[in-house]
Chain A
């Protein structure tokens, strides 16, 4: 990805126009998550929550998706007893007071893809608060080790170890191929943008062509625990989604990590945006 390889210093906060585009979509998606989360109340079903996300983004011009919005409530946030991928799709599970929830959406807007995950809970839930707070260490760990150019598989295992030390289960292992992250890219805008099993066909095409290139060059657009991820971070945009589970409660964040081929460690990898709900939450907690 040419634009990323020449990204300007993240430290100065200046991004190329292209990265700005991605950041705009990511902000739009998080705004959607916050707007929908604010409307959730007891009795709302996962399907309704997913529809609310879809409509909110459609009103703001989103026509294509990397994947359609997901919503998980209660112990489905920790993927309890998930055996087949169809179980990821929203169900008629109703939200109850104290229940955790996760909204996960990946809209494509102006050709840029975002893929975000937003964790919250309806009312008080100390376990969920703890999970969210403990996610911060994972965000730091991932960035640090990507900058060190460690093989993705090793980083995956380090994240696993940190989760175990914290007492949690790795729930991103439940995702297809057990991925903790996957590449996202520009998507060509078409008038008709069908989806296949919830995934946009244009995005799937991009992922498939990445996989093909990667296969020839020895890397993979999927960041998994398997040998095909045993390579240093590949420049590009990675949607990173560590997902913690603890006895029927799950929490995750998902946001874009920019990896470049710069030699400067600061510039070699950085989070696309540091002004996100979960990051603000950690800052507020530290300030308090």
Chain B
């Protein structure tokens, strides 16, 4: 039996009507749900017969914060949003004090859930205070059976938070004390919101006016029709969320706050208000927790709607299908970060490119393996599917061919989506003294090693930037980019250009949440030696030197898999320049602190 004050209050179930214009969701049907003296404004999108996904907004927001995510989910699900009491077009309790307790918010949730999905449990999604509330919904007994799954972002359970603080205060080791201080500093606004009247005055005055600008500047939220005009009252009323709950719950956290539904946790790594450490003990409260990390700031529903819609959709679908054998998250390291993302790797038929594609596949990413060698690219895609990629495709393209790259980008956009991680890896080797290198040789090596990277960055980077939801570009440079040598003048030049291109592009795209990394592998055991050109020697001699180089690289035997790991790590930590092998790191150090040593080494004539 479901009970609760929310059930007893009358509910007015009017037929849905279109939302008024200017709300950010003109295609939604709106209705009002009445509970405990409050009228809640509820918006619905999509087919009501589909599974219901309920999106709960945070502070200071209204349901329109979800508009972009809701639109992306509406074709697959019955999407429901509502203005929390006191926010948006829902009415506020009188008096405000004591009207925002988690118990009352739970009543609201049950009333809305019963109105929009009386027979089936709903899939909850909460952001910020919406997630804080939803944790309460997901952990109290009276909602059991009404929630099918819960996706949480940027809002911990106050009970879990209380236990988190107690554990750290109880035995404040240096590490734990640092975690406490860190989160304590991030919570500055919570203290301010507890002062009487001041927050209301600020929100209704200058802060309310400046807030949209602050969001755009500091939080990188795209402009447009959000926040809505109701912001000052939303924010003023919402202050009572903190005053009614925070002190009470943190002081006396519930001991039985265990989730009774599957939970997916999405952690924005750049969140200015919540430390990632807050979720360290979460597995204790939520068994089978699925973790995701997202390189973004706090307002992810505005800044990363594509990624959120993908993860929510995947999680909800998996729970609806109820197939326990089908894991949502892949098993590899960084699966929380790359699961479901679209990764394009050039030069993916062999060596570092192939190993990189496999590493991303293991992390659950969708893979596009691009190479001139059709068979090799198809093989990479094939194997990628075996080890965890939900989807993988092989594409045959020569990266130096601009038109072909444009065509590929159009195809990718139309069929697979926007690329989240681009790895410009394709490259060829060329060895021989400068005076023996013909202009034809130069053209060939620059076409692939430099122009290939330029085309990739320009064509796919443009689409990434246009989408405005971040991403990452990895360019494979080389240790030869900073290590001069008399045997690789053309190759080194091309790679030095790639290194500088990456650095410049990194500066340009930083503001748009797109990271750029230059990888400098060093001597890695790949097929590049077997196909490298050696200038100024006979064909026979070239064959001999290729075999010799291949043997030398084989003796060194640094596996491309380690470079692939370095690439994933570099993307996760957004590193700028990553030398990989010890010799590459050594040369990188020398190039900065003892460049004359490197120049002396460059003069050495290696035995042929």
Q: Which residues in B have their C-beta under 8 angstroms from that of A157?
A: 550
Q: Which of B379, B550, B551, B561 contacts A169 (CB 8 A)?
A: B561
Question: Please, which residue of chain B has its CB at the minimum distance from the CB of A166?
Answer: B379
Nearest to B380 among chain A residues (CB) is A167
Query: Do A130 and B561 have beta carbons less than 8 Å apart?
Result: no
Known: A164-B527, A167-B354, A167-B380. A247 touches B362 (CB 8 A): yes
Query: A169-B559, A169-B561, A225-B554 given as contacts; is B350 within 8 A of A127 (CB)?
Result: no
Q: Are A127 and B559 in contact (CB under 8 A)?
A: no
The contact of B376 among A126, A165, A247, by CB within 8 Å, is: A165
* Cα–Cα, bound, A184→B354 (Å): 37
The yes or no answer to B387 lying at the interface (CB within 8 A) is yes
The answer to the question of B557 belonging to the interface, with a C-beta cut-off of 8 Å to chain A, is yes
Given A169-B559, A247-B358, residue A130 in contact with residue B379 (CB < 8 A): no
A183 to B550, CA, bound (A): 27
Pair B350/A164 contact, Cβ less than 8 Å: yes
CB distance B527 to A130 under 8 Å? no
Give min CB distance, B512 to chain A, whole Å.
Answer: 34
Number of interface residues of B (CB under 8 A): 18
- Cβ B379 vs Cβ A167 within 8 A: yes
Contact residues, B222-236 vs A (CB, 8 A):
none
**For the complex, is A47 an interface residue (Cβ under 8 Å from B)?**
no
Residues of B near A161 (CB, < 8 A) are 530
Q: In whole angstroms, how far apart are the Cα atoms of A231 and B362 in the complex?
A: 41
Q: Which of B364-397 contact A (CB under 8 A)?
A: 376, 379-380, 383, 386-387
B383 and A130 contact, CB distance less than 8 A: yes
Instruction: Please measure, in the bound complex, the distance between the C-alpha atom of A130 and the C-alpha atom of B387, giving whole angstroms.
Output: 11
The yes or no answer to A173 lying at the interface (CB within 8 A) is: yes
* Chain B residues within 8 Å of A173, by CB: 557
Instruction: Assess whether A246 is interfacial by the CB under 8 Å rule.
Output: yes
Kindly list chain B residues whose C-beta atoms are within 8 Å of the C-beta of A164.
350, 527
Inter-chain contact B376/A127, CB cutoff 8 Å: no
Q: Mark B268-288, 1 if CB is under 8 A from A, else 0.
A: 000000000000000000000
Known: A165-B376, A225-B554. A247 touches B387 (CB 8 A): yes
Residues in A neighbouring B380, C-beta threshold 8 A: 167
Given contacts A165-B376, A169-B559, contact A246 B383 (CB under 8 A): yes
Residues 44-80 of A, flagged 1 when their CB comes within 8 A of B and 0 if not, give 0000000000000000000000000000000000000
Interface residue SS majority, chain B:
helix
Nearest opposing residue in chain A for B373, CB measure: A165
B interface footprint on A221-248 (CB within 8 Å = 1, 0 otherwise) = 0000100000000000000000000110
Interchain nearest-CB distance for B380 vs A (Å): 7
Closest residue of A by beta carbon distance from B358: A247
A62 to B550: give the CA distance in the assembly, Å: 44
Chain B residues 194-236 with CB under 8 Å of chain A are none
* Interface of chain B residues 82 through 100 with chain A (CB within 8 A): none
Q: How far is the CA of A185 from the CA of B554 in the complex (A)?
A: 31
- List which A157-207 residues lie within 8 A (CB) of chain B: 157, 160-161, 164-167, 169, 173
Within 8 A of B (CB), among A124-178: 126-127, 130, 157, 160-161, 164-167, 169, 173
A127 touches B527 (CB 8 A): no
A224 → B minimal CB distance (Å): 12
CB A12 to nearest CB in B, in angstroms, measures 39
Give B348 Cβ to nearest chain A Cβ, in Å: 10
- List chain B residues, Cβ under 8 A from A169: 559, 561
Residues of chain A within 8 A (CB-CB) of B561 are 169, 247
Chain A nearest CB, measured from B180 CB (Å): 37
Q: How far is the CB of A238 from chain B (nearest CB, A)?
A: 22
A-side contacts of B559, CB under 8 Å: 169
Closest CB in chain A relative to B560 CB, distance in Å:
9
- Taking CB atoms, residues of chain A closer than 8 Å to B354 are 167
| CA–CA, A255 and B354, complex, Å | 31
- Which residues of chain A are within 8 angstroms of B376 by Cβ–Cβ distance? 165
For the complex formed, measure the closest distance between the CB of B597 and the CB atoms of chain A, giving whole angstroms: 31
Q: In the complex, A165 Cα to B351 Cα: how many Å? A: 9
Q: B386 near A126 (CB under 8 angstroms)?
A: yes
Least CB separation from A129: chain B residue: B386
Residue in contact with B386 in the complex, picked from A130, A160, A165, A225, CB distance below 8 Å: A130
Contact of A167 with B557 at beta-carbon distance under 8 Å, contacts A247-B358, A247-B362 already known: no
Complex Cα–Cα for A75 and B131 (A): 40
Among A130, A164, A166, max chain B CB count under 10 A is at A164
In the assembled complex, the CB of A126 is this many whole angstroms from the nearest CB of chain B, namely 5
Q: Which residues of B contact A247 (CB under 8 A)?
A: 358, 362, 387, 561
Which residues of B are found within 8 Å of A225, using beta-carbon distances? 551, 554
B contact residues around A166 at 8 Å (CB): 379
Residue of A nearest to B383 (CB): A167
| Interfacial chain B residues near A130, Cβ < 8 Å | 383, 386
Measured CB to CB, the closest approach of chain A to B113, in angstroms, equals 39
B52 shortest CB reach to chain A, Å: 35
Closest chain-B Cβ to A34's Cβ sits at a distance in Å of 26
Q: For residue A153, which residue of chain B has the nearest CB?
A: B551
User: What is the CB-to-nearest-CB distance from B78 to chain A, in angstroms, rounded to a whole number?
Assistant: 36
**CB-based contact B554/A127 at 8 Å:** no
Residue of A nearest to B560 (CB): A169
CB distance from A94 to the nearest CB of B (A): 18
Which A residues are CB-close (under 8 A) to B383? 130, 167, 246
Bound complex: CA A126 to CA B387 (Å): 9
How far in angstroms is the closest Cβ of chain A from B77?
Answer: 31
Q: Quote the shortest CB–CB distance from A4 to chain B (angstroms).
A: 32
| A165 CA / B362 CA spacing, docked (Å) | 20
A residues in contact with B550, CB < 8 Å:
157
**B551 partner residues in chain A, CB cutoff 8 A:** 225
Whole-angstrom CA separation of A164 from B530 in the bound complex:
12
- Cβ of B557: which chain A residues have Cβ within 8 Å of it? 173
Task: Return the CB mask of B421-461 against A: 1 if under 8 Å, else 0.
Answer: 00000000000000000000000000000000000000000
- Which residues on A sit within 8 Å (CB–CB) of B358? 167, 247
Q: Which residues of A contact B362 (CB under 8 A)?
A: 247
- A160 contact set on B, CB distance < 8 A: 554
Per the bound structure, the CA–CA distance linking A225 and B551 in Å amounts to 9
Q: How far apart are B379's CB and chain A's nearest CB, in angstroms?
A: 6
Q: B interface vs A, CB < 8 Å?
A: 350, 354, 358, 362, 376, 379-380, 383, 386-387, 527, 530, 550-551, 554, 557, 559, 561
17 additional A-B residue pairs with CB within 8 Å, beyond A166-B379, A167-B380: A126-B386, A127-B387, A130-B383, A130-B386, A160-B554, A164-B350, A164-B527, A165-B379, A167-B354, A167-B379, A167-B383, A173-B557, A225-B551, A225-B554, A247-B358, A247-B362, A247-B561
Q: List 14 A-B contacts (CB under 8 A).
A: A127-B386, A157-B550, A160-B554, A164-B527, A165-B350, A167-B354, A167-B380, A169-B559, A169-B561, A225-B554, A246-B383, A247-B358, A247-B362, A247-B561
- Identify the 7 closest CB pairs spanning chains A and B, nearest first: A167-B383, A127-B386, A126-B386, A167-B379, A167-B354, A247-B387, A127-B387
